[in-house]
Structure 1
């Protein structure tokens, strides 16, 4: 797509997301149906022209962002300006965010206006030059998605502001705050719960097979062979999108060589992509594929469409490696399965590996960052500081099935229906010596794109582990 077309597509995506605030809600199930049709056609659409790609992004905004937002009402009091808050559509699952926006708007001369985007549309809008129109507060994953705004002067340093407020600095988990730091300075606060990648499993299937959930790679292979023998897909993989496959490579590399392997890659150190742990991890990935771990439908199954998660819930698949957000997805889709038959364990260890078994890969959190060039920077920072540790916001995260990134979670879990999963996830994050951001978010977009392409080829057995390593080493 040429530059002019790309800029037009990005502006239209923003306009549609903002206009969606006035749209009525869609009929029940309509969003899911549109999303499923979109994902089924994704492979064919990859062959489309640049203009068609822009329409895909815009369709995602209309189908996902608009119907979730519902009708808006005019503020009771006039405001002198508007803080544009841009997030992914998943932010709308936290009722505490709406509460905090309303409370802020009631007392401030400047109002907050939320615009939500589908995942692909948001990445398109935020890629390349800074968007015009631009957000005053924007969601990001940390890593490269935060480093670039810092470098270009579009991220406000809030280090001192947070240090002066012990209700923030003493409450939030340090390992999560690290994810919003660049060169030791803090540029964001967590808007989501902690999101480690873990291994989910179907309890009923494991009980029926006489198996315990796998704690080691060897036990994982045993489970794969056992379920294959029962004509059950061992591991549900949303191969229709490329990023779920990358989680296996990320974790296996960490388990084999430790978190320093990827830290060197992010730092751009010479030869980092050629560390032996990366080739060994790619070899284990090939072994899983050769063994039939992901079944025959992995290439067309999607995560964002819900088909991979449905396979796990329905008993068509026995396991799924996914971020902790999977619990909330299962809870919304089938609360009976989520609360009775869904199990979870940390990602398995690898014999002989030097990685710390307590180390995590995933998303420490998604963050909210204030644009340093916003005309309402002061008010936006105030909104951010007042929101993310408020009772309404934290309780809203729990209600949505997420686990707030705070030190003392237990008092909030009394009689909470999801306390077991919350304790598990929180304990992982609290004790993790390192919490590595998923690779496609930690790396610059050009390198991440190559990584996703080569990972897809590796999982399809189109390249060998040596070829994978060589291809990635050529990106630096």
Structure 2
């Protein structure tokens, strides 16, 4: 699922490309997986981690520091490209040959691991780290009231991006409400500018609109009822209204005429904004790094603005609520030896020291820890990191991306029907019927 790939690369992944070669020296080389060791018989702790950008650099440095200071509890690490890892960990988990530290994305996969007894309860072992985390981010590692995973990178909220220059040229203010947004759509359309950039061919980009519309209109309870498996939960009046508002945007021409052929993986949606062809975009924090890489002068000259998703008059949702990816996570394999588990738990409980948090900030990550303002202030991307950090820190709820929250088979049905909804091929009621059929 696309969310998994986009979740691992952020600003730092792009800024650090030049220094990655140096940081990759030593240990297994990026992408090598032939000699990866899982829960082997020697009792030593192991980890499988993903290659790429600042995250790899941070993890390498962190493991090296742990191994130097705890030689009797060292952790061996093997490195994988994203897709290779997903394939290998699926087999390893099933055969009880997973590494001690299991890299994951939370959501339905974590719940499956817990239900199958593949990862252990670490609640009593990571209290020091949990105390340092923003609660809504730490919650991503909870299943049935217990911690089975701990965040290991920055947090990745979804929010609005704006071409400030286009707004100034049209005499428009950044929209704060849904009505403001619709007014901007009308004005930009009249000016021959695509109001909102949307990579409709990628499906998950359209999903982000629904995540916020459901929440702003009905509150977090609407999707909670869906994840709880309540019968006909997708037919909630707030859900139907949200689906209708999404189609309202399409019918108003908000996304232009060719949005169905725009692909997010090629960053075509981001390009529409920084080239002045589109005025707005709803996207994750990872898109900021794309702006920095593809249009550094556009950002440097102050033409990029960002903000929270607009509020909706009469909606029950809290305007501070956020959608996106809370983080990526480490879990501890139940198949590992007691000795290996002890080492892994010790590593996790000492993860978020000042050095680790500062490294995330320096790489452009929005840190998942409380008190990170001291590291953000004066950093190269202070304005953006302050916005993103405050947004998450002050959020009343952090909704994990739907295609991570839901089981994989349900997620595919969801994405397929989202495309049909945005193509105006089905009605909100037909969408709800199709999704209600997935509730077991």
TM-score, normalized by the shorter chain, greater than 0.5: yes
> What's 1:221 paired with?
182
CA contact (8 A) 2:164 2:304 kept: yes
Q: How much does 1:90 deviate?
A: 5.1
Distance 2:294 2:346 in 1: 36
Match of 1:365 in 2: 327
Q: 1:154 maps to what in 2?
A: 118
Question: Quick check: 1:455 aligned with 2:408?
Answer: no
Contact kept, 8 Å, 1:358 with 1:428, in 2: the verdict is: yes
Q: Per the alignment, do residues 97 and 336 of structure 1 end up closer, same or farther by CA in structure 2, a change over 3 Å counting?
A: farther
Q: Equivalent residue for 2:257?
A: 296
Matched-pair contact (CA < 8 Å) for 1:139–1:367: yes
Alpha-carbon distance between aligned partners in 1 of 2:246 and 2:121, rounded to the nearest angstrom: 40
Structure 1 residues 239 and 374, CA gap change in structure 2 (3 angstroms): farther
Deviations 1:214-243 (A, max 9, x none): 111111111222222222222221223221
The correspondence for 1:287, drawn from 228, 232, 248, is 248
Unpaired stretches in structure 1, ≥5 consecutive residues: 1-27, 32-66
Q: Is the alpha carbon distance of 1:287 and 1:123 closer, same or farther for their aligned partners in structure 2, counting shifts above 3 Å?
A: farther
Offset of residue 443 of structure 1: 0.9
Residue aligned with 1:369, SS: strand
2:361 corresponds to: 398
Q: 1:186 aligns with which of 137, 144, 147?
A: 147
CA gap of 1:452–1:126, structure 2 versus 1, over 3 A, is: farther
Corresponding residue to 1:310 among 263, 271, 275: 271
In structure 2, the residue matched to 1:4 is none
**1:386 pairs with one of 322, 330, 350:** 350
Q: How many angstroms apart in 1 are the aligned matches of 2:47 and 2:431?
A: 39
Question: 1:24-43 residue pairs with structure 2 within 5 A?
Answer: none
Inter-partner Cα distance in structure 2 for 1:435 and 1:190: 14
- Return the offset for 1:102: 2.0
User: In 2, Cα distance between the equivalents of 1:89 and 1:205?
Assistant: 38
Q: Give the 3 Å change call, closer, same or farther, for CA 74–453 of structure 1 in structure 2.
A: closer
Residue equivalent to 1:42: none
* Contact in 2 for aligned 1:94/1:399 (Cα 8 Å): no
Q: Which residue of 2 aligns with 1:252?
A: 213
Q: Of 430, 445, 450, which aligns to 2:408? A: 445
SS in 2 for 1:457: helix
Q: Indicate yes or no: 2:281 matched with 1:320.
A: yes
Tell me if 1:73 matches 2:26.
yes
Residue 55 of structure 1 aligns with which residue?
Answer: none
Count, aligned residues? 405
One of 128, 137, 160 as aligned partner of 1:199: 160
C-alpha change, 1:384 and 1:334, in structure 2 (3 Å) is farther
Structure 2: where are the runs of 5+ without partners?
1-13, 29-36
TM-score (norm 1): 0.78
Cα deviation code 1:257-297 (max 9, x no counterpart) = 11000011101112211101111111111111112222233
- Cα distance in structure 1, aligned partners of 2:199 and 2:363: 23
Task: Indicate how the Cα distance of structure 1 residues 251 and 100 shifts in structure 2: closer, same or farther if over 3 A, else same.
Answer: same
- Does the residue aligned with 1:295 lie in a helix, a strand or coil? coil
Distance 1:386 1:449, change over 3 A: same
Match of 2:64 among 102, 123, 136: 102
| Structural mapping, 1:112-131, within 5 Å | 112-118=76-82, 130=93
Task: Point out the more displaced range, 319-328 or 102-111.
Answer: 102-111
Contact kept? 1:91, 1:116, Cα under 8 Å: no
What is the match of residue 414 of structure 1? 377
Query: Which structure has the higher relative contact order (CA within 8 Å, separation 6+)?
Result: 2
CA drift of 1:450 comes to 0.9
Matched residue, 1:140: 104
1:96–1:394 contact (8 Å) kept in structure 2: no
Change in 2 beyond 3 A, CA 1:377/1:200: same
Tell me the secondary structure at the aligned position of residue 160 of structure 1: coil
Per-residue CA deviation, residues 132-185 of structure 1 (Å, 9 max, x unaligned), is 55333233222212111111122221110122x3xx233211111111100110
Q: 2:194 aligns with which of 233, 240, 247?
A: 233
* Residues 1:464 and 2:427 are matched in the alignment: yes
Deviation at residue 92 of structure 1 after TM alignment: 4.2
